[in-house]
């Protein structure tokens, strides 16, 4: 006896195909435009964006400070380069801080030409601090002239930089020293904040005294001393929290601040 044939089977394929067409067609069918979503206008802080880019990309140039508007301070280092100057440069580079280094000629000549080149290459300013760190007011005219010229010539040969600023050792100056300095195309730079790091080799004391800076201050330190370099993280942190930008003395002067400060 023959079994009856299943007459419903031929309908399965067309119905399944129809279902697929409906599903796919529904997915592909154009959708009605969505209602616009109201969003508040976005305000872009370009300064913040630049700082974030700088943090993400080492070497990204930070915007140049305008010391007529920004809170600027000039960190200055005398008597080097010395055995701790390299570490100091590492700290400044990590914080994108610029400084001014008043170098002594005989220290440069004592096998530290590479450090002087690095100071210039990393955007810091080089200043003349004489050849032998002599008290200029006590020297005859010819030796006063040589103290400045000899250091200036050496730094220029090594780096191509003609120094435009000078600091007299011990802050000792007079009209004669000022005239010779001008004759050699330099400005005298003293200071208004003395950390006394040459006397008190205590990082906490150096940090506390440097933090007394006000907008436009020139801070005196010495890169010869390990304690000074150890203090730099605290100095940079405390002044940064107060909104200071770290600039060279020439940038400070160019931004409308004083070019030199009276010694206290």
pLDDT at residue 254, as a whole number: 85
- Secondary structure letter of residue 68 according to DSSP: T
pLDDT at residue 62, as a whole number: 55
Q: What is the mean pLDDT of the chain?
A: 82
pLDDT at residue 64, as a whole number: 72
Residue 61 lies in a domain: no
Which candidate, 240, 190, 252, 188, places its Cα nearest to that of 210?
Answer: 240
Q: Read off φ and ψ for residue 177, nearest 5 degrees.
A: -65, -40
Cα angle 109, 220, 103; round to 5: 10
Q: What is the CATH number of the domain that holds 71?
A: 3.20.20.370
pLDDT at residue 151, as a whole number: 98
pLDDT at residue 13, as a whole number: 42
Q: 166: pLDDT confidence band, cut at 50, 70 and 90?
A: very high
CA–CA dist 215, 71 (Å, integer): 5
Residue 178 lies in a domain: yes
- Secondary structure letter of residue 72 according to DSSP: E
Q: Is the pLDDT of residue 167 over 80?
A: yes
Residue 117 lies in a domain: yes
Hunting for tokens 């002087």 — which residue is that? 116
pLDDT at residue 65, as a whole number: 83
Q: 30: pLDDT confidence band, cut at 50, 70 and 90?
A: very low
CA–CA dist 190, 197 (Å, integer): 16
Residue 96 in tokens: 């994108």
pLDDT, average across residues 9-37:
43
Q: 136: pLDDT confidence band, cut at 50, 70 and 90?
A: very high
For the stretch 61-120, pLDDT in tens is 456 788 989 999 999 999 999 999 999 999 999 999 999 999 999 999 999 999 999 999
Q: Which residue has the higher pLDDT, 45 or 113?
A: 113
Angle between helices 203-210 and 226-241 (to 10 degrees): 40
Q: Which residue has the higher pLDDT, 102 or 38?
A: 102
Residue 155 lies in a domain: yes
Count how many domains the chain has: 1
User: Which residues does the annotation mark as catalytic?
Assistant: 78, 222
Residue 40 in tokens: 């508040």
Q: Rounding to the nearest 10 degrees, give the CA dihedral for residues 174, 138, 171, 205.
A: -160
pLDDT at residue 227, as a whole number: 96
- Which stretch of 26-40, 55-69, 192-206 has the lowest confidence by average pLDDT? 26-40
CA–CA dist 212, 235 (Å, integer): 10
Residue 110 lies in a domain: yes
- Which stretch of 14-18, 26-30, 34-38, 260-264 has the lowest confidence by average pLDDT? 260-264
CA–CA dist 244, 101 (Å, integer): 19
Q: What's the Cα-to-Cα distance from 41 to each of 34, 38, 215, rounded to whole Å? A: 20, 9, 35
- Which stretch of 74-83, 102-111, 185-194, 247-256 has the lowest confidence by average pLDDT? 247-256
Residue 239 lies in a domain: yes
Residue 33 lies in a domain: no
Residue 22 lies in a domain: no
For residue 189, the enclosing domain spans 66-254
């Amino acid at each position: 006896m023959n079994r009856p044939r299943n007459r419903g089977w031929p309908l399965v394929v067309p119905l399944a195909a129809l279902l697929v067409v409906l599903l796919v067609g529904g997915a592909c069918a154009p959708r009605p435009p969505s209602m616009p979503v109201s969003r508040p206008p976005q305000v872009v802080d370009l300064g913040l964006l630049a700082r974030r880019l700088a943090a993400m990309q080492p070497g990204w140039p930070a915007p140049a400070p305008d010391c007529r508007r920004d809170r600027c301070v000039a960190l200055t280092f005398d008597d080097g380069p010395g055995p701790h100057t390299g570490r100091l440069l590492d700290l400044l580079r990590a914080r994108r801080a610029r400084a001014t280094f008043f170098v002594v000629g005989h220290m440069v000549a004592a096998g530290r030409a590479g450090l002087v080149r690095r100071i210039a290459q990393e955007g810091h300013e080089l200043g003349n601090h004489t050849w032998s760190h002599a008290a200029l007011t006590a020297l005859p005219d010819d030796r006063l002239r040589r103290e400045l010229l000899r250091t200036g010539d050496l730094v220029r040969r090594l780096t191509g930089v003609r120094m435009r600023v000078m600091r007299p050792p011990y802050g000792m100056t007079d009209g004669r020293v000022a005239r010779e300095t001008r004759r050699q195309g330099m400005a005298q730079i003293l200071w208004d904040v003395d950390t006394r790091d040459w006397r008190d080799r205590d990082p906490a004391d150096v940090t506390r005294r440097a933090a007394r800076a006000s907008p436009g201050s020139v801070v005196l330190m010495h890169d010869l001393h390990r304690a000074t370099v150890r203090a730099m993280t605290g100095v940079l942190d405390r002044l940064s929290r107060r909104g200071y930008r770290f600039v060279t003395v020439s940038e400070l002067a160019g931004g409308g601040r004083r070019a030199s400060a009276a010694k206290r």
